[in-house]
Amino acid sequence: MTKDQVEMDMRGRCSAGQKMLASIIIRLALADSFGQNCGILALDEPTNALDTENIDALAASLVDIINERKNHANFQLIIITHDENFLRKLGQSDVMEYYWRVLRDSRQKSIIERHRFG
C-alpha cells in the first residue's frame, strides 16, 4: 500500500474486503504455481465482505484470467454466488456465454437451468 508515494506495511490497515481480495489473489497464485496441469478454478461466494469497488476489481481480474486461459484445453471456472450484481459484471464481458442457476421447484427438488448472458 502506498500513501503520499511512500510504501506502507498493510498489516493492520486492510479492510475485511481487502483481506478477502488478497486471500483470493494468494490462492490463485498458489493454484497457478502448484497446479499447472489442473485447469479448474472454483470460487465459493468470492464477493462476501467485498465493497463495490473490490467486487468490480475481482470481476475484471476474473475476466482477465478467462481471456488468458480460454485456449487451455482443460480450463473450467466455477463460481458459486448469490451476488446478482457480480454476475451481471461478469456477463458484461464477451468471454462468458452462459451461467447455470440452481432453483427449487414446488416440491423443493433442485432444478438446474442454463441462462445466456446478455
Question: Please, what are the domains in the chain?
Answer: 2-116 (3.40.50.300)
Beta carbons of 80 and 107 less than 8 angstroms apart: no
CA 66/CA 72 separation, integer angstroms: 10
* 3-class secondary-structure state, position 1: coil
The cell for 49 is 465482505
DSSP 4: T
- Per run of 10 residues, the mean pLDDT along the chain (length 118 residues) is 74 75 80 74 88 90 87 85 94 90 95 92
Contact 40, 76 (CB under 8 A): yes
Q: Which residues are bridge partners to 6 per DSSP?
A: 3
pLDDT in tens, 49-70: 888 988 998 899 899 888 888 8
Residue 106 has what pLDDT? 96
